[in-house]
Amino acid sequence: MSTLPDVFTDPEDSQLVADAKKDKPEDHEFSYTERDVILYNLGIGATAKDLQWTYESHEEFAALPTFGVIPQFAASSGISLGWLPNFNPAKLLHGEQYLAIRSPIPTEGNFVNETRLLEVLDKGKAASVTTIVYTKDIATGNVIFENQITVFIRGAGGFGGKRSGRDRGAATAVNIPPKRQPDAVIEEKTSASQAALYRLSGDYNPLHIDPSFAAIGGFDQPILHGLCFMGIAGKHVLQSFGAYKDIKVRFSGVVFPGETLVTEMWKTGSKVIFSTKTKERGTTVLAAAAVTLIDTDMMAKL
């Protein structure tokens, strides 16, 4: 049974970071049912025509692969960052997300999340903090998902320690699109109620529903969850190239519910590099993004 080490030690860490890494968060249990799977799938744009994603009695009923961000969400969001100098949660930005699907995704079950601080970088005027979460099936002990979540906290730098992160393979790959036309392009218009629906999968941040909170954040209207449009783009890659074993994105812009997402994809070997932008504003919202494709016959044997 795979498990995370108690501490991800790094000789380059400052004492502040080394001490923070020793503060081992409690494991967090999470259960979900077929209803939760359907609700998530609907939240990232599945429709009644997609019976394999929206009808529990369909013979190929399944969670879309990016469902893996859901069981870990409360665990990673609950990790303490108060030890950072000048920490202000209002200045926290979700920078990157990496998800690896380690085992076939159950459509229901009971799970436990192990969470650790993986890497902390001093960017001068900001801090970059990466958390790693293993989501395990309690019944089998198997790791189903691995998530690495990187957040940037403006104004919280200057504490000393390393400035550049180490290479963690697919989780940190730069994923520069080739200089050629994409191999596939999918457009999808989001619903004006997309954020209102997606938030029911567990992210109740009022920034995504309450105009007054959005205004405090400097937005004219509530914005769509980053993990929602990551899921929509992940669905586009799945529809175009098939199953994948991991996905990594950098959040580079905001999406307003009702906008049209355009995902451009380039296949390079076993990897599909992709970029997502809003059609209406031309703003790139997902960059440095890619999946690693998997042999579905091999997955079926796991």
How many C-beta atoms lie closer than 10 Å to residue 77's C-beta?
Answer: 15
Are 4 and 72 contacting, i.e. CB atoms less than 8 angstroms apart?
Answer: no
Quick check: is 282 catalytic? Answer: no
Judging by beta carbons within 10 Å of its beta carbon (0-12, 13-18, 19+), is residue 218 exposed, middle or buried? exposed
Residue type, 3: T
Q: Given the residues 203, 246, 247, 273, select the one marked as catalytic.
A: 203
136: which strand partners?
Answer: 112, 143
Quick check: is 94 catalytic? Answer: no
Cα distances (Å, whole numbers) of residue 275 to 165, 212, 248, 278, 280: 23, 31, 11, 10, 16
Q: Given the residues 95, 157, 226, 234, select the one marked as catalytic.
A: 226
Quick check: is 236 catalytic? Answer: no
Q: Given the residues 28, 208, 225, 236, select the one marked as catalytic.
A: 208
Q: Which DSSP helix (H) or strand (E) runs through 152?
A: strand 143-154
SS3 16: helix
**Dist CA 211 CA 35 (whole Å):** 29
Cα distances (Å, whole numbers) of residue 225 to 43, 204, 222, 229, 257: 10, 10, 9, 7, 9
Q: Which of 182, 187, 206 is nearest to 196 (CA)?
A: 206
Are 262 and 297 contacting, i.e. CB atoms less than 8 angstroms apart?
Answer: no
Q: Given the residues 153, 223, 247, 273, select the one marked as catalytic.
A: 223
Quick check: is 27 catalytic? Answer: no
By annotation, the residues acting in catalysis are 203, 208, 223, 226
